[in-house]
Structure 1
């Protein structure tokens, strides 16, 4: 079935509610019933509507994802629901995921608040100085669309960039990380562990901070100290199955486990 792209007015609240309902019920949405093309303002509006539904109506969300395949390509940013953020060793076996994609990431935490005016005046070094801690993280990639990852790119972006859940390891003081030198190991279920080296396209997780801070504060308001952003996958997109345990280790940074 072709994807819709009609003259019917697009209502961000309607799409946000459909995606929220799918998250709660485990019944996927048919992408063919929604416009295949959305502009950036539409996607932001859907994200804002989603944030209001999970409880971030009066303040900017505390959890975010940001990233992209390389520095030469546009970054994507999305707020994340706090209800889907978990600690090391979490058991998510009862969560109704449609997919169970696995991305091993490094999360960064703001040590100070920042507003749009402050973010606009920052340079890359200043943005990095706002970070007080880092942690190993696992993002569970999911899609509320019946077409899953074959849905149009705009609809996947509206779906919180295909976010399912976030698992965070122990926080430790921030230090720079060189993507060319930092290995990452991932084991899924009974599969042998895979080691990924020099696969992180942004080279340094802190590189995206300036763009993310300006985006988030411009569209969602001031960010609080303690706000967390994940910074993109070091292992591409791996696949897990129900019942798998997933283990991620960044040598010298930490290890993390989640049960699916």
Structure 2
């Protein structure tokens, strides 16, 4: 919030639910991850939703989710530099799930008024989010020392953001949480 009580310019984020939120703890075989990644890549390129049913009962770990993000991002040219400043998204499919985090590719983040091509979406959804800007680089030591006592000290601004979401699975929001 600035000195005038305003939250600043809203951001438009495009975050796609194709393998980013997982809450299980057992890793799966590399072939399975390759198959899931290939299905999501094909869905994104063709605009035709993938069938998630072959993996609906597959236990995926956060490490599996990160591996999928990397594979999909590399194949689609969205690879990001983990050491670069950027926009991150965090969360999970339920409040009891293990939270996962991912750096959003720069091409998905636009200052207001952001513009995206509707043909890039299978079924467009909109979510209202709260975005925070870090005051400085945050280390693991900072998090351990401040997370419970003074988390606000890590942030210097917040704003409303609009998140555009798209499902690349045929089951859309009804797909198992493990695949969303």
- TM-score band, normalised by the shorter chain? 0.5 to 0.7
- Asked if 1 retains the 8 angstrom alpha-carbon contact of 2:91 and 2:101, the reply is no
Cross-structure match for 1:86: 110
Does 2:128 match 1:107? Answer: no
Q: 1:1-260 maps to which residues of 2 (within 5 A)?
A: 9-11=29-31, 12-34=33-55, 36-37=57-58, 38-52=60-74, 53-57=77-81, 59=83, 62-67=86-91, 73-74=96-97, 76-79=99-102, 80-156=104-180
**TM-score calculated relative to the size of structure 1:** 0.47
The separation in 1 between residues aligned to 2:174 and 2:136, in whole angstroms, is 39
The separation in 2 between residues aligned to 1:35 and 1:42, in whole angstroms, is 15
- Asked if 1 retains the 8 angstrom alpha-carbon contact of 2:90 and 2:99, the reply is yes
Alignment: residue pair count: 148
Q: Which segments of 5 or more consecutive residues in structure 2 lack a partner in the other structure?
A: 1-27
The separation in 1 between residues aligned to 2:91 and 2:151, in whole angstroms, is 16
The separation in 2 between residues aligned to 1:65 and 1:101, in whole angstroms, is 17
* Highest RCO, 1 vs 2 (Cα 8 Å, sep ≥ 6): 2
Are the structure 2 counterparts of residues 103 and 58 from structure 1 closer, same or farther at C-alpha, using a change threshold of 3 Å? closer
The separation in 2 between residues aligned to 1:61 and 1:35, in whole angstroms, is 35
Cross-structure match for 1:252: none
- Asked if 2 retains the 8 angstrom alpha-carbon contact of 1:51 and 1:61, the reply is no
Q: Which segments of 5 or more consecutive residues in structure 1 lack a partner in the other structure?
A: 1-7, 157-260
The separation in 1 between residues aligned to 2:89 and 2:82, in whole angstroms, is 20
Cross-structure match for 2:21: none
Are the structure 2 counterparts of residues 40 and 95 from structure 1 closer, same or farther at C-alpha, using a change threshold of 3 Å? same
The superposition leaves residues 64-122 of structure 1 with CA deviations (integer Å, 9 ceiling, x where unpaired) of: 2234699x644643422321212212333434212222211211111211233433333
The separation in 2 between residues aligned to 1:98 and 1:58, in whole angstroms, is 28
The separation in 2 between residues aligned to 1:61 and 1:67, in whole angstroms, is 19
Cα distance, 1:142 vs. partner?
1.3
Secondary structure of the 1:90 match is coil
- Asked if 2 retains the 8 angstrom alpha-carbon contact of 1:64 and 1:77, the reply is no
Are the structure 2 counterparts of residues 22 and 120 from structure 1 closer, same or farther at C-alpha, using a change threshold of 3 Å? farther
The separation in 1 between residues aligned to 2:36 and 2:86, in whole angstroms, is 22
